[in-house]
């Protein structure tokens, strides 16, 4: 089975089977039947891609209410440290975070269910980051948390004094003040 569990229920690592030969490699980055066979019914409706330079930190973002999104995220080029924070109020892991190295080389993907905040920092010189979403983006339903929240205490595997963060992300609320 290509799915690995994490310490946070429903947050899964997807490791696709990769076929290598003298020409390079091939793998299925997504196959609906593989997901259905694992009991995962996710209807992805939107694909997004971002290019960033080393030290760019994007997040922590989420969508609220009926516009909540599950995401399947991966690095197409380069390396990122990817983080998901459980914001499901009834979860035993509420407020806990999980981080994983996603690289073009390891081809790992992280499935981030609805009810999580998500973000990543670029570790390589540049990175192309791609993700599938099961709901459409809605500006009216966007939310977020500060990446440097002391209560969450996320270890980004990068010096936070050197990250490049948008003004919008610098103004996000701390965990104790968020609404979802």
Determine whether 62 is an active site residue.
Answer: no
Sequence-separated (6 or more) residues with CB below 8 Å from residue 61: 117, 118, 119, 142, 143, 144
Out of 61, 98, 118, 120, which one is annotated catalytic? 61
Nearest-angstrom CA–CA distance, 69 and 63: 6
* 3-class secondary-structure state, position 65: helix
Determine whether 118 is an active site residue.
Answer: no
Question: Cα 92–148–144 angle (5° rounding)?
Answer: 65
Nearest-angstrom CA–CA distance, 133 and 71: 5
Say what the alpha-carbon torsion angle 157, 161, 162, 164 is, to the nearest 10 degrees: 100
Nearest-angstrom CA–CA distance, 51 and 53: 7
Out of 62, 98, 120, 131, which one is annotated catalytic? 131
Quick one: tokens of 14? 């997807």
Active site residues: 61, 131
């Amino acid at each position: 089975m290509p799915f690995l569990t994490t310490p946070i229920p429903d947050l899964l690592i997807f490791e696709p089977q990769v076929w290598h030969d003298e020409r390079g490699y091939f793998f299925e980055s997504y196959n609906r039947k593989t997901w259905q066979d694992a009991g995962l019914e996710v209807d992805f409706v939107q694909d997004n891609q971002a290019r960033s330079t080393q030290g760019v930190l994007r997040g922590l973002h989420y969508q609220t209410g009926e516009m909540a999104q599950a995401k399947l995220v991966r690095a197409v080029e380069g390396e990122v440290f990817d983080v998901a924070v459980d914001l499901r109020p009834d979860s035993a892991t509420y407020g806990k975070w999980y981080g994983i190295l996603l690289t073009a080389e390891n081809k790992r993907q992280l499935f981030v269910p609805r009810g999580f905040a998500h973000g990543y920092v670029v570790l390589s010189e540049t990175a192309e980051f791609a993700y599938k979403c099961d709901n459409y983006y809605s500006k009216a339903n966007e939310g977020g948390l500060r990446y440097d929240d002391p209560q969450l205490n996320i270890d980004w595997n990068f010096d936070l004094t050197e990250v490049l963060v948008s003004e919008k992300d610098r103004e996000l609320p701390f965990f104790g003040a968020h609404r979802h």
